[in-house]
Amino acid sequence: MSYKRWLLVAAFLFIIGLLLGLTTTPGTASLLAEDMAALEELAGILVSLPKLAVFLLILVKNVSAVLISFALSPIFCLVPVVALIFNGGLLGFVSARVLQEKSLGYLLAGLLPHGIFELPALIMGEAVALSFGTAVFLALFKKERRKLFLPHLRHNLRYLIAALALFLPAAIIETYVTPLLIP
């Protein structure tokens, strides 16, 4: 399957999660509500840290999440599928709650500046993980696919590096610009 198709699959899974998150009521979303509480607690801690530490934490968290997903993707691609649906769901859930309490402008100010880099990076990185996991799985069970594995891996690594590079401007904007836009 071409990388473009993996991008479409990854975007589709993310959108499924987003729609689930947008339509989830707080009473039925105990897992998402727990994550929301943890995020609020983390936000309280991050405010007291120096900006450079916040930047590094955001960058390392995002990069490590995609790298872990990539490394574990050969296990039936479960980790990238769950990561896409869960991240989409969490974004939808948080967005719905913010829209109830604030405004669309507030939500967009908080998401768009860094989201234009972070969301494509996440979807690209998870598409690479899905592609890699499938290639490993096929190479294990189809002898003729084994010779294609290394070229496929090199191809995937180029896209993975591009996705990881997008997390850098996202972390910079999330650390230094977003706090100026949302009080």
Task: Please report, for the chain, the start and end positions of each structural domain, with discontinuous segments joined by +.
Answer: 3-23+30-38+50-181
3-state SS of the chain is CCHHHHHHHHHHHHHHHHHHHHHCCHHHCHHHHHHHHHHHHHHHHHHHCCHHHHHHHHHHHHHHHHHHHHHHCCCCCHHHHHHHHHHHHHHHHHHHHHHHHCCHHHHHHHHHHHHHHHHHHHHHHHHHHHHHHHHHHHHHHCHHHHCCHHHHHHHHHHHHHHHHHHHHHHHHHHHHCHHHHCC
Q: Report, as an integer, the average pLDDT of 143-150.
A: 83
Mean pLDDT for the stretch of residues 54-83: 95
Greater confidence, 166 or 31?
Answer: 166
User: Residue 24 — pLDDT band, cuts 50, 70, 90?
Assistant: confident
* pLDDT, mean of residues 113-131: 97
At residue 27 the predicted structure's pLDDT band, cuts being 50, 70 and 90, is low
